[in-house]
Chain A
Amino acid sequence: GQQLNQSPQSMFIQEGEDVSMNCTSSSIFNTWLWYKQDPGEGPVLLIALYKAGELTSNGRLTAQFGITRKDSFLNISASIPSDVGIYFCAGPQGGSEKLVFGKGTKLTVNP
């Protein structure tokens, strides 16, 4: 089945640094979703991308839908302690209501 490879698995950064993470697949996706999960909570949708090449921002977050439709990137600028959590990419499983999820990037921000 379709799989999403997310990297890096974890990141340890200093407050104020920029962060970049990505998600790749061997299959084409028509939608890319980025979720954030705070410790002990459910994932919350950050950004949704629907067109190849699309670049979308949400505050300090910017996500891009890769031109090949096989990858997506999430950048966080000027990180702050509340950015801590697990970031998941996801995309619809072809022809179904289900989503495929990456295994997540765990972000730690040191004040």
Chain B
Amino acid sequence: DVKVTQSSRYLVKRTGEKVFLECVQDMDHENMFWYRQDPGLGLRLIYFSYDVKMKEKGDIPEGYSVSREKKERFSLILESASTNQTSMYLCASSPPRGGLETQYFGPGTRLLVL
């Protein structure tokens, strides 16, 4: 069974803190993605990675960075958290193209920045 896990379901941080969100998948997928989800705005892609140490900016990368040191793990980093980064963060993974383009999602991390 496909499994994407995220390190925390809920997180409360203070403005200016450095925040790490971790995502692990056990499907040996090449591609991994970070989205944020806000009411009325749907899912917006922050960053994605198509291989170890490879990353590409999504639609809203400002204020975020990522790290992919191992195939199964993709980390999202908020260098200096701000209140407008309060959101639901979703991680996903998928096999390479030709793998039916289906993305599998983790349960999400609800982040509150005070």
Contact = CB atoms under 8 A, between A and B. Distances in A.
A31 B100 contact: yes
Contact of B102 (A40, A45, A88, A101): A45
B108 A40 contact: yes
Interface of A: 31, 33, 35, 40-45, 48, 50, 88, 90, 92, 97-99, 101-104
Interface residues of B, number: 26
Given A88-B42, A103-B42, A98 B102 contact: no
Contact of A98 (B4, B58, B105, B110): B58
Interface of B: 4, 31, 33, 40-43, 45, 48, 50, 58, 90, 92, 94, 96-97, 100-108, 110
Nearest to A99: B103
7 contacts: A31-B100, A44-B105, A48-B100, A48-B102, A97-B96, A101-B43, A104-B42
